[in-house]
Amino acid sequence: MIVAHLRGYGERFAVGTDHAQLSYRELADRVETVAAHLAGPRRLVLIETRNDIATLVHYLGALAAGHVVLPLPAGRDHSAIESTYRPDIVIDAAGVHRRTGDPHRQLHDDLTLLLSTSGSTGSPKLVRLSRTNLISNATVIADYLGLRETDRAATTLPMSYCYGLSVIHSHLLVGAGLILTDRSVVDEQFWDLFRRHRGTSFAGVPYTFELLERIGFDGSSTPDLRYVTQAGGRMPPERVRRFAELGRRAGFDLYVMYGATEATARMAYLPPELALTRPGAIGRPVPGGSFSIEPVDGWPGDEVGELVYRGPNVMMGYAHGPDDLALGKTVETLRTGDIARRAPDGLYEVVGRTSRFVKLYGLRIDLHRVETALRDQGITALCTGDGDRLAVAATGGHDPQTVARAAADAAGVPAGAVRAVAVDELPLLESGKPDYPAVRRLAHSAGADAPTSASDVRELFAEVLHLDPATIDPAATFVDLGGNSLSYVTVTVRLQRLLGRLPADWPRTPIRELQAAARPRRAGRWAGLETSVALRAAAIVLIVGSHAELFTIWGGAHVLLGVAGYNFGRFCQTPVSRTDRVRHLWSTIAWIAVPSVLWIAIALLLTDDYTWSNLLLANKFLGPHDSMTAGRLWFVEVLVWTLVLLALVFWLPLADRLERQWPFTVAMAFLAVGLALRYDILGLGLGRDAWFTMLAFWFFAVGWAAAKAATNWQRAVVTTVLAVGLYGYFDNPVRGAIVLVGLVLLIWVPTIRCPAAVTAVAGTLAEASLYTYLVHYQVYELFEGHPAIGVAASLAVGVALTRAVTAVRRRLADRTTQPRLIPVRR
């Protein structure tokens, strides 16, 4: 049947390579010769594949002879599969090799093809596919792509990979042509061949499109290009959109597709006209197939669950050994392992994974097998996916680069796709199970947070505060040197690495005393984390996650407001002169207000998110109040104008003297003012709007009073006032509980003991909290339908911006710093 089908297309172009070209009649003749040579009882035929004519002819010939074919990539270790299944015939570059004797196994009549699940770790687990699977999937692919006899597709993917094989099946089904090549899209020879044979399409995994961007592909040199397909893993929506726009300009369509080897290749596709507007969706089921969403623990709601596929292309089942080759169809549905939802427009969106497989570079990688491969090399490690990379944490003193190379080899990906970190102990949950999220955090920290180069406290302070270390008086403190709440987080984390456990009042401890307290420190699993730092980190995660609808846990911004008041009390109300206090306070305001205004200006140019009143940080005063985005920057507005008012108040000599004489009493007086606003004693009638206006000042005042509370009875008073003020304040009791717990910790617990890795991550997130808050609204919206990715991207962008601003500040400071002694101010 295969030979007759091929011969029916006569002299049409069938296959082209660098050095040869075959018509369908010539291809049919060669396939017939191979089929005759392989004639006999049904056998299991292993073929080492290359994208060349010989492989194609032997593959089709083995099928035409009625054998079961197992294609595997040439040049790889297949010993596990060969020893498990002991194929009767092996076809490689050296020729055809037969095992003598009768077939030693039964092969089910429907069984036609065995495929590895596109992994690279040599697992003997195979997918069993029938003739019906192959024909049905090839038919629907040809249908939704609108394949024509004049189409010619380049084989940019291995013939042993279900995606690459599906290109061959669908094109040969309709009499279209194939351009066989193993060259990469970065090779000019690939494009020469593509143009010479008038190629109309090519397929790619996400990495293919990354390479296309690197070489500046714009479609201008491929005049016959009609469409491009993408599958083999999720491609970032922004890249989907870029190539869709490029295709619109250059005259080709982009088809984004979703599938699995277990579905003979394709389960869904996104029509080209939707690639611009819905780049994050996997699309709709292929003709003849259907999806359902089934509940999964930990993913609340009926609209989100595991994506389950049904269709004639669903595999017969898995094979784990030779006995399974005699089985008929054992599955009717395919549980994809992806967490998905169906959008109102009928398109499906994948939002997560249930299993320990990741897909990189078109490969489905079994993370457990990567860990096993590392263990065989004496490396005890945990491995997890981290976006487009693998994250690995390893013990035993191994060099991270060595671990990364070993993991890359085991996974079959480039070494640059692995981020490895050395740890004293593997991170575990309380249950004793591996803590994979901690592995990701550790890997991120290792990759993005280089250790301090400072050898002593003075150098560290100079580096963070952008001062010349030679000019710093050893008797000066962090406060004396102008340290504020913005630089405090960075110094806390780095100073702890340098010294170990920090004194309770280290910001007011002279440098010489801090240095004297230094002791040799061995990296341990646990460390102390300043509560204010931990709260900043936790609050920004809660804010971003709730706004992106990854979860709904409100209260983070009000906790941040309390932390801001706490830092005001610690770093602005210091023993320095009134002039220095006010100057310090205005500097703090500038470092909040200036980046906020700059970002709003950028957002005004690019989006409709803000108005002119946001540019003045006065939306809450000037409106408009009915905009969907009116309240987005309420926290920044409240904080900036609170600090402005306090700067004006404490510029007055009388207010300054009173605060110095009775710091706790003055803080409590301002808390009383805040509570008067909270209970609307003045009758302003703002009601629930008080949550997000200047009437929320009392949270700031609570933090301020907590910073000035020197005795337990004072802390108890602040706690009582907080509890009373929160009663009935929010209509959501969970929100109130979050704020209460957070601020009680701030009042009573100066340090939280936690895993050492957490301190680095928390410090990074806390330091970046302002920039993360500013940009997250615009960032997470880029990942519509994928809130987890949007949250991660928002945090990453905030961290990147913070580091960029810090680098600029350091560069500017290096140019302007003049040698001068920094005095001790009392």
Q: What is the pLDDT of residues 728-748, one digit of tens each?
A: 888 888 999 999 999 999 999
Q: How confident is the model at residue 376 (pLDDT cuts 50, 70, 90)?
A: confident
Supply 602's token pair: 């950028």
pLDDT per residue as tens digits for the range 639-658:
999 999 999 999 998 998 89
Instruction: Identify the pLDDT of residue 431.
Output: 42
Question: Rounded to whole angstroms, how far apart are CA atoms 793 and 804?
Answer: 16
Examine the pLDDT at 522 and tell me if it is beyond 70. no
Q: Are 799 and 765 in contact (CB under 8 A)?
A: yes
* Mean per-residue pLDDT, 659-681: 90
Per-residue model confidence (pLDDT) at position 99? 83
> Residue 138 pLDDT > 70, yes or no?
yes
What residues form DSSP beta bridges with 599?
A: none
pLDDT tens figures, 382-409: 998 877 688 999 987 788 888 988 898 8
pLDDT at residue 235, as a whole number: 86
Asked whether the predicted pLDDT for residue 688 surpasses 50, the reply is no
pLDDT for the residue numbered 112? 97
Task: Determine how β-strand 357-360 pairs with β-strand 363-366.
Answer: antiparallel
DSSP secondary structure letters along 400-437 = HHHHHHHHHHHHTS-GGGEEEEE-SS--B-TTSSB-HH
- Tell me how far apart the alpha carbons of residues 525 and 528 are, in angstroms, rounded to a whole number: 11
Whole-prediction pTM: 0.51
Of all helices (H) and strands (E), which one includes residue 723?
helix 712-726
Q: pLDDT tier at 523 (50, 70, 90 boundaries)?
A: very low
| Candidate from 13-17, 217-221, 574-578, 580-584 with smallest mean pLDDT | 574-578
Residue type, 580: D
What is the predicted pLDDT for the residue at 818? 39
**Helix (H) or strand (E) run with residue 526 in it:** strand 526-530
Say what the pLDDT of residue 287 is. Answer: 95
Structure confidence at residue 197 (pLDDT): 96
pLDDT digits (tens, 9 = 90+) for 323-370: 999 999 999 999 998 889 999 999 999 877 676 677 776 676 878 778
Does residue 593 have a pLDDT over 80? Answer: yes
Rounded Cα distance between 69 and 817, Å, is 73
Residue with tokens 């008038």: 198
Average pLDDT for residues 688-700, to the nearest whole number? Answer: 73
- If you average pLDDT over each of 62-66, 416-420, 693-697, 726-730, which comes out highest? 62-66
User: If you average pLDDT over residues 421-447, what whole number do you get?
Assistant: 74
Q: For the chain, give the percent of residues with pLDDT over 90.
A: 51
Q: Whole-angstrom Cα distance, residue 488 to residue 465?
A: 10
CA distance 179 to 427: 49
Would you place residue 227 in the very low, low, confident or very high pLDDT band (cuts 50, 70, 90)? very high
pLDDT, average across residues 686-710: 79
Phi, psi values for residue 337, rounded to 5°: 80, 0
pLDDT of residue 454: 39
Residue 548 CA: distances (Å) to CA of 552, 559, 575, 795? 9, 19, 42, 12
Task: Please name the amino acid found at residue 719.
Answer: T
In this predicted structure, the answer to whether residue 817 has a pLDDT above a threshold of 60 is: no
Say whether pLDDT at 685 is over 50.
yes
Q: Which residues contact 86 (CB under 8 A, 6 or more apart)?
A: 99, 104, 322
Please provide the DSSP assignment of 528-553 as one string: EEEHHHHHHHHHHHHHHHHHTTS---
465-469 contact pairs (CB < 8 A, 24+): 466/809, 466/810, 466/812, 466/813, 466/814, 466/817, 467/813, 467/817, 467/822, 468/817, 468/819
What's the pLDDT score for residue 214? 81
| 816 vs 100, higher pLDDT | 100
Query: Taking a C-beta distance cutoff of 8 angstroms, is the pair 196, 222 a contact?
Result: no
Q: Which helix (H) or strand (E) holds 127?
A: strand 126-130
Asked if pLDDT for residue 763 goes beyond 90, the answer is no
The maximal CA–CA distance of the chain, rounded, in angstroms, is 105
What are the two backbone dihedrals, phi and then psi, of residue 381, each rounded to the nearest 5 degrees? Answer: -150, 160
What whole-number distance in Å separates Cα of residue 487 and Cα of residue 805?
12
Q: Which residue has the tokens 């061949």?
A: 193
**Strand 227-230 relative to strand 253-260, pairing:** parallel
pLDDT digit string, tens, across residues 448-472: 443 333 346 777 777 677 676 666 7
**Rounded distance between C-alpha atoms, residue 67 and residue 94, angstroms:** 20
Instruction: Indicate the SS3 state at residue 246.
Output: helix
Please, which pLDDT band fits residue 445 given cuts at 50, 70 and 90?
confident
pLDDT value, residue 609? 83
Mean pLDDT of the chain: 85
Determine the pLDDT at residue 425: 79
User: Does 781 or 123 have the greater pLDDT score?
Assistant: 781
Give me the pLDDT at residue 821, please.
35
- In the predicted model, what is the mean pLDDT of residues 407-432? 76
Strands 253-260 and 363-366: unpaired
Task: Provide the residue type at 257 as one letter.
Answer: M
Q: Which domains does the chain have, with CATH numbers?
A: 2-352 (3.40.50.12780), 358-448 (3.30.300.30), 531-812 (no CATH)
Q: Going by C-beta distance under 8 Å and a sequence separation of 6 or more, which residues neighbour residue 560?
A: 535, 536, 539, 540, 543, 635, 769, 773
- Beta strand residue intervals within 209-362, DSSP E: 227-230, 253-260, 265-270, 284-285, 290-294, 304-310, 317-319, 333-342, 348-353, 357-360
Question: Predicted confidence band at 299 (pLDDT cuts at 50, 70, 90)?
Answer: low
Residue range 192-199: average pLDDT?
96
Query: What Cα–Cα distance (Å) separates residue 645 from each residue in 48, 575, 638?
Result: 76, 20, 11
Q: Tell me the C-alpha distance between 584 and 590, whole Å.
A: 10
pLDDT tens digits, residue range 713-725?
999 999 999 999 9
Mean pLDDT along residues 687-697: 65
Nearest to 565 by CA among 663, 702, 691: 702
pLDDT tier at 119 (50, 70, 90 boundaries)? very low
